[in-house]
Amino acid sequence: MNKPLAVNRIHRIDALAGLRRLEDNSVDLVVTDPPYNIAATDRITMKSSKPLSTMEAWGHWDRFHPFDYDVLIMQVISECHRVLKPGGALYMFTAREQSGYFVRKAIARGFTYRNQLAMVKKNPLPSLSKTNWRSAFELCMYLTKGKPGVFNFISQTECKNVFHYSNSRRATKHPTEKPLEFIKLLVQVSSNVGDLVLDPFMGSGTTAVAARDLGRGYVGFELGRDYIKMANARLKTGCHTGAGRRAA
Ligand SMILES: C[S@@+](CC[C@H](N)C(=O)[O-])C[C@H]1O[C@@H](n2cnc3c(N)ncnc32)[C@H](O)[C@@H]1O
């Protein structure tokens, strides 16, 4: 029998292995941004202000055989459903081309579909080839385990399913760091102070920082040693909530 995982920590462990160590109905909210499996030689991103293919920028963790990718995401969705408390929410980012597919699969695994949220970039990358539309938004599915337990409606303006952001204010060198303000909004709306927030693909720790800043506990998984260092450096600054709880 494995020891329970310490809360308010990012564990260097595979997402599925970490999820399997959590008890049923033990997590209040999952916010996660798994690999999209879109790294390719002809998809361009920016690294240190230089255009670079997504394969070169993040290929090592964003490249899967399509079948393996499906299996991974489906298992993650099933495990998230198992560990969430009834009424708990799952926010999961997906690549645009896969979003509807995974929403349908999540419904088949028992989740209730609530909405799709769009994160719109104010400063999208220019289209270098000028042969396609500029990519200016990302999608995040919002699902709950049964009827939603917590929805702290803030205002008509803030609770629209479109969120505008600029990706020029980044805290780390992680290539796909998500905007902290958006992740904080999700945590604020779909959990309460003292709740436990899980992110099985922590990256630079954005979910952990959001949870910590809002007085929630967190538990996270990440394989990249350098990414965990980045996340822990972020977590060293700013406010802290009490540590020491254990994930059930
Ligand atoms: C899209 S990024 C997450 C970025 C994060 N939302 C942020 O704001 O920094 C996905 C992360 O998942 C990690 N990862 C990939 N496969 C994993 C696995 N099987 N288990 C745990 N982490 C994994 C990658 O190293 C990468 O940092």
Write out pLDDT tens, residues 160-187: 999 999 977 789 999 999 999 999 999 9
Cβ pair 216, 193 in contact under 8 A:
yes
- Is the pLDDT at 42 greater than 80? The verdict is no
Supply φ then ψ for residue 191, to 5 degrees. Answer: -155, 170
Q: Is the CB of 227 under 6 A from ligand 1?
A: yes
Both structure tokens of 95: 């690549």
> Given this model, what pLDDT does residue 53 score?
82
Q: Is the CB of 178 under 6 A from ligand 1?
A: yes
Å from CA of 94 to ligand 1 middle: 12
Residue 89 resides in a domain: yes
Confidence of residue 247 (pLDDT cuts 50, 70, 90): low
Q: Is the CB of 179 under 6 A from ligand 1?
A: no
Which tens digits make up the pLDDT trace of 93-137? 999 999 999 999 999 999 999 999 999 999 998 888 899 999 999
Q: Is the CB of 58 under 6 A from ligand 1?
A: no
- Is the pLDDT at 63 greater than 80? The verdict is yes
Which tens digits make up the pLDDT trace of 77-91? 999 999 999 999 999
Residue 234 resides in a domain: no
Name the strand (E) or helix (H) holding 80. helix 66-83
Q: Is the CB of 234 under 6 A from ligand 1?
A: no
Residue 197 resides in a domain: no
Residue 20 resides in a domain: no
Which range marks the domain in which residue 104 is found? 25-186
Determine the average pLDDT of the residues in 9-31. 98
Alpha carbon distances (Å) from 54 to 34, 106, 170: 15, 27, 18
What is the pairing mode between strands 196-199 and 217-222? parallel
**Following DSSP, what letter does each residue of 148-198 receive, concatenated?**
-S------TTTTSSEEEE-TT--SS--TTPPPHHHHHHHHHHH--TT-EEE
Name which residue sits closest to atom 19 of ligand 1, judged by CA.
14
User: Per the structure, how many domains does the chain have?
Assistant: 1
Distance, in Å, from the CA atom of 83 to the CA atom of 30, rounded to the nearest integer, reads: 9
